C-alpha cells in the first residue's frame, strides 16, 4: 500500500461560504434522512480566471443549491482552495440517499424553470467564454461505520480533503476495514477532528482511494 497521500488541493477554505451563504453545507433540517447509506458526488471545477470562479459560485448560490433543495437534496457543500497555485479550483460535494436518488435528481432538475432562469449565465455560457475549463467527478459510497454525512455548522471554516491511495483493490479494502472495523474512525472523532464524511470512490480517477473529508 502506498503511504497515504493528500490531494494537491488538500486544504479547502470555507471562504466560499462567505460568498455563498448556503455553501458551507446547505441542509433541509426539517426533513431528516430516512435512508441507511449516503452516496457522494465530488465535483472539481478547473477554472481559468476570477470571472469563471464568480460564474460558478453564483450558479450554485442562486440556481443549483436552491433547486437541489427543492427536489430533495439535503446537503450541498461548495469550497475554494485555501492556498491555490494560480486560480483556485472549486469543489462541490453533493449528498444522495442512494443511486436511485441520484438518478431521480438528474432526471428532474432540468424541469425546474427557476433553475434554468437563475442559472442561465452558467448553463448557456458560450464556447468563447465558458463557465469553467473542465469538471472532474467522483462518486463515493459512505463507509458502513459512518453511513451518513455529519453536516458542520453553517459558519466560515477550513476543511481538509484527505485521500488515501492504495496499490490494489485488495489493499484499498483493507484500508477501509481499518477505519470501519478497527476503530480508526472513532479515534479521529475522539481526537476532535470532526470528520464530515468517509467515502469509498467507486467511480472516479486515481482509484482505489477512500476519502476522508475533515473539519479543522
Q: What are the 10-residue block averages of pLDDT along the chain, 216 residues in total?
A: 36 35 39 70 96 97 96 92 92 94 95 98 98 96 92 82 86 87 88 89 88 70
Q: Which residues contact 81 (CB under 8 A, 6 or more apart)?
A: 9, 11, 12, 13, 88, 89
Q: Tell me what pLDDT residue 57 has.
A: 96
Q: Say which residues have a Cβ less than 8 Å from residue 108's Cβ, sequence separation at least 6.
A: 71
Minimal CA–CA distance to 1: which of 211, 200, 173, 205?
173
| Count of all residues that appear for the chain in the document | 216
What pLDDT was estimated at residue 2?
35
Q: Taking CA 82 as the corner, what is the angle to CA 52 and CA 28, rounded to the nearest 5 degrees?
A: 75
pTM of the model: 0.81
pLDDT recorded at residue 209: 83
The pLDDT value recorded for residue 21 is 31
Is there a contact between 25 and 77 (Cβ–Cβ < 8 Å)?
yes
The pLDDT value given to residue 5? 33
Collapsed DSSP state (helix, strand, coil) of residue 127: coil
Contacts (Cβ under 8 Å, ≥6 apart) of 54: none
Residues with Cβ within 8 Å of 204's Cβ and at least 6 positions away in sequence, in order, are 42, 136, 137, 138, 139, 140
Amino acid at each position: 500500500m502506498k503511504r497515504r497521500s493528500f490531494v494537491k488541493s488538500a486544504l479547502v477554505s470555507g471562504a466560499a461560504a462567505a460568498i455563498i451563504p448556503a455553501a458551507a453545507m446547505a441542509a433541509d433540517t426539517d426533513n431528516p434522512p430516512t435512508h441507511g447509506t449516503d452516496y457522494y458526488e465530488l465535483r472539481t471545477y478547473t477554472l481559468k480566471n476570477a470571472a469563471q470562479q464568480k460564474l460558478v459560485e453564483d450558479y450554485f448560490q442562486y440556481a443549483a443549491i436552491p433547486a437541489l433543495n427543492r427536489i430533495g437534496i439535503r446537503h450541498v457543500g461548495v469550497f475554494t482552495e485555501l492556498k491555490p497555485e494560480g486560480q483556485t479550483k472549486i469543489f462541490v460535494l453533493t449528498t444522495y440517499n442512494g443511486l436511485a436518488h441520484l438518478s431521480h435528481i438528474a432526471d428532474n432538475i432540468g424541469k425546474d424553470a427557476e433553475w434554468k432562469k437563475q442559472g442561465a449565465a452558467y448553463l448557456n455560457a458560450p464556447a468563447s467564454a465558458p463557465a469553467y475549463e473542465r469538471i472532474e467527478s467522483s462518486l463515493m459510497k459512505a463507509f458502513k461505520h459512518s453511513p451518513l454525512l455529519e453536516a458542520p455548522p453553517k459558519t466560515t471554516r477550513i476543511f481538509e480533503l484527505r485521500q488515501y491511495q492504495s496499490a490494489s483493490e485488495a489493499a484499498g479494502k483493507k484500508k477501509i476495514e481499518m477505519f470501519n472495523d478497527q476503530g480508526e474512525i472513532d479515534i479521529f472523532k475522539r481526537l476532535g477532528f470532526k470528520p464530515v464524511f468517509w467515502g469509498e470512490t467507486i467511480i472516479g480517477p486515481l482509484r482505489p482511494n477512500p476519502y476522508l473529508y475533515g473539519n479543522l
